[in-house]
Structure 1
Amino acid sequence: MINTRKKLITYLRKRDGIKPSLQATLVNIRCKLPDVVIFGGMVRDFGLGVRHFSSDIDMVTTASAEQIRHALAGLNPVMNKFGGFRFRENGRLFDIWSLQDTWAIREGHAQAKYLSDLCRTTFFNLDAVIFDVHALKVRARHGYDEDLQRRVLDINLEANPNPRQMAIRAVRMAIQKDLQLAPALVEYVLEQLYGTSLNLTYQSYVRQLHDHTGRTPESAFRFEPQLKIW
């Protein structure tokens, strides 16, 4: 995870024209809130080798929801539909949650005392990673580095609020990021999507998944896009 850490720090300190660095926003947040981490997608994508990250940045803190609201008052945060707070700063969207308000913990699927416990709450194994904006360190679930190097997407915690959408997300991530699907996730995706209405690329992907389980169900699956033309 050393390379992931280096890439993140370099990116966070980068300036875009006359805009202040992303680091300036994070420094402002960490001065007002204790124990803040960047969670999931951004950390995962830099580990996978992306050069630029343009999506929302997800963050979690041990502060309460009321403490977050008070600390970020100057940034005009609004409650998002998932129980966290959303705000825009320097053209970038941020979502920040209190640790106890994150979905798996709030619904009782996992318990957490420390922010590192977040790594037990994600559906995907490759999302089970955090970047501590105070200590500038990356922490992840056991076995994360091996899965990252092999580019294998698997289930970390099966409980989630929308199984079909999670299965679609698995297919989309696998295609866009050139990931293999582990056998447990192959089975999950087929259970949710096989025989349902999907776009042509996703239909082809699910067909290949189905064929794969008939040949080598114990092995990870990698999509062959040239086979999507029948």
Structure 2
Amino acid sequence: MINTRQKLITYLRKRDGVKPSLQATLVNIRCKLPDVVIFGGMVRDFGLGVRHFSSDIDMVTTAPAEEIRRALAGLNPIMNKFGGFRFSENGRLFDIWSLHDTWAIREGHAQANSLTDLCKTTFFNLDAIIFDVRALKVCTLRGYDDDLLRRVLDINLQANPNPRQMAIRAVRMAIQKDLQLAPALVDYVLGQLYGSSLNLTFESYVRQLHDHTTRSADSPFRFEPQLKIW
């Protein structure tokens, strides 16, 4: 995780023209809220080797929702559909949750005593990673580094509010980020998507996925996009 940590720190401190660094926004939030971490996608993608991250930044704090609302008052936050707060700063979108308002914990699928327990709450194994904004430290579950090195996407916690959309997300992530699907996730995706209406690329992916299970069901699957024309 040393490389992931250093890549993140370098990126956070980078200035974009006249805009202040992303770190300045995080320092402002850190001063108002305790124990803030960046969660999931951004940290994962730097571990996978991306050089720039343009999606929303997901954050979690131990502070309760009302304290978050007060801390972000000057940033005009709005409640997002997942129970967190969304705001924009310097052209970047942020979503921030109270730890106990995150979906898996709120619904009783996982228990949390600290922010490191967030790693138990993600559907995907590669999303089970946090970056502590104050300590500048990366935390993961055991075995994460090996999965990241092999670029294997697997199920971490199966419970989720939208199984079909999660299966679609698995295919999208695998294609866009050149990931293999572990056998358990292969079965999950097929159960949700096989035989359903999909775009041509996704249809090709699922068809190859099905063929893979008849030949080597116990090994990870990697998509061969050149085969999609067949």
For the aligned pair, the TM-score class normalised by the smaller chain equals over 0.9
Q: Distance in 2 between matches of 1:212 and 1:72?
A: 49
2:142 maps to what in 1? 142
Distance 1:2 1:222 in 2: 27
**Counterpart mapping for 1:16-55 below 5 A:** 16-55=16-55
SS state at 2:118 partner: helix
TM-score by length of 2: 1.00
Secondary structure (helix, strand or coil) at the match of 1:131 reads strand
Shift of 1:210: 0.2
Three-state SS of the structure 1 residue aligned to 2:6 is: helix
Query: Which runs of structure 1 show a deviation greater than 3 angstroms over 4 or more consecutive aligned residues?
Result: none
Could you tell me which runs of 5 or more consecutive residues in structure 2 were left unpaired when the two chains were aligned: none
Shift of 1:172: 0.2
What is the TM-score of this pair, normalised by structure 1?
1.00
Match of 2:162 in 1: 162
**Shift of the alpha carbon at 1:20?**
0.3
CA RMSD of the aligned region, Å?
0.2
Deviation of 1:46 (Å): 0.1
For structure 1, list consecutive stretches of 5 or more residues without a partner in the other structure: none
> In structure 2, what is the Cα distance between the partners aligned to 1:151 and 1:88?
32
For residues 226 and 131 of structure 1, the distance between their equivalents in structure 2, rounded to whole angstroms, comes to: 37
Aligned positions of 1:27-176 closer than 5 A: 27-176=27-176
1:156-194 deviation per Cα after TM superposition (whole angstroms, max 9, x unaligned): 000000000000000000000000000000000000000
Q: Percent identity?
A: 87
Equivalences for 1:190-229 in 2 at 5 Å? 190-229=190-229
Whether 2:12 is the aligned partner of 1:12: answer yes
Partners of 1:152 and 1:138 in 2: CA distance: 19
Deviation at 1:87, TM superposition (A): 0.2
The 2-side partners of 1:34 and 1:89 are apart by 20
Q: SS at the partner of 1:147?
A: helix
Q: How far is the alpha carbon of 1:92 from its aligned partner?
A: 0.2
